[in-house]
Structure 1
């Protein structure tokens, strides 16, 4: 059950902002340079998550990994599949993904709209990805996630390092109790960020250049 709940928490770690007045973040875990925080959100039983991390990469390299949807299953915790279903531009895409969750909990799926923007002065990159309804028909035996908001904020530190602040609040749907999801909220993000660090070291991203990220 611990493994199942960690997967549910991580439904959108690769691709999903939590806004408004909220209580301060509470540190949940700090492992291998990956700090995971949680906090209560008004009118929700499920806590929001924030992950802070510094990685050895340029902003372009990190964005290249996050936008490389076909490779999500290589590093995002328990992603079964991920497919681009519409490309408006290289920095603006819609994708479908299914998350593999062990029995007896049903798999989850979702459609998200990923859009990348960069501040021309600070060079800070922001990636937002709201869940989109009704773009792909629901599938038998899979629970569709209808509510999720999140954001990646990528800040260059120097020519070879960036800091990441990732925030997420979602409702995974189905009948899993919120208190159980909150209990294991840190494990899934930690595993995915460990995978992200490894993914960034692959040759495919070594010298990557993007027209929309400087």
Structure 2
């Protein structure tokens, strides 16, 4: 960028000194503004990272710990489960079939199906869940993916909203982001982490739903552990 158009050859020493001061001052201002912009961007980035509230322990018994936290972007709480399972990761994974059907341990799953394969291990899954009366049942359209990390010996299953258009139904269409992590600890023990957030949409009391999230999650985990013991 050209800041000045001057002939330094024809300048007196006094003029040259004055111009030199102006150039140094201008460079300082530009440098200061650049640093200020970088600090502003860093603060903005930090603010975004720190936007989520800390997890709050809501239930603890035996090998189960359940948490929730508020999200600034939603009136519905996000929940998390940390479960130490006294079975191998392989046996635990049997309770998470990827054929699209309802998992036996999920009490509110009314019906579920794989619509189509997407790419690799990714699938399009359609699910309907029962809601307590008098609330209308909800349906969800998921982009499902699964991967295995050899280093951590962890299988991760992710369900997120399908971004492309999907036909409307008689149900209220909700959106959910769910993450399941199954980590092998030993040949006979594993660790399960569940992190989930659901936006139920429609006309419904968020506070009423939030008050039931932990008990519903606890009930599902208890059913899962019972199935493993059968």
Task: Specify every segment of 5 or more residues in structure 1 that has no aligned partner in the other structure, as ranges.
Answer: 1-18, 203-214
- Alpha-carbon separation, structure 2, partners of 1:69 and 1:119: 21
> Does structure 1 residue 66 correspond to structure 2 residue 100?
no
Normalising by structure 1, we get a TM-score of 0.75
**Distance across 2 between alignment mates of 1:60 and 1:112:** 24
Q: Which residue of 2 aligns with 1:16?
A: none
Contact residue 39 and residue 47 of structure 1 kept, 8 A: yes
Aligned match of 1:87 in 101, 104, 117?
A: 117
Is the contact between residue 81 and residue 99 of structure 1 (CA under 8 Å) also seen in structure 2?
Answer: yes
Q: Which whole-Å deviations, capped at 9, do the CAs of 1:101-139 have from their partners, x for residues lacking one?
A: 243211111111221111122212211111215554121
SS in structure 1 at match of 2:224: helix
| Deviation at residue 201 of structure 1 after TM alignment | 4.1
2:212 aligned with 1:155: no
Q: Contact 2:97–2:103 at 8 Å: present in 1 too? A: no
Aligned partner of 1:168 among 196, 213, 224: 196
**TM-score, length basis structure 2:** 0.70
Could you tell me which residue of structure 1 aligns to residue 126 of structure 2? 96
Q: Which runs of 5+ in 2 are unaligned?
A: 1-47
Count of equivalent residues? 182
Correspondence 1:17-32 to 2 at 5 A:
20-21=49-50, 22-31=52-61
In the other structure, the counterpart of 2:41 is none
Q: Which has the higher contact order (CA 8 A, sep 6+)?
A: 1
Change (3 A) 1:35 1:55: same
CA distance in structure 2 between the aligned counterparts of 1:20 and 1:162, rounded to whole angstroms:
30
When Rg is computed on C-alpha atoms for both structures, the one with the higher figure is 2
Q: What CA distance in whole angstroms lies between the structure 2 residues aligned with 1:113 and 1:170?
A: 15
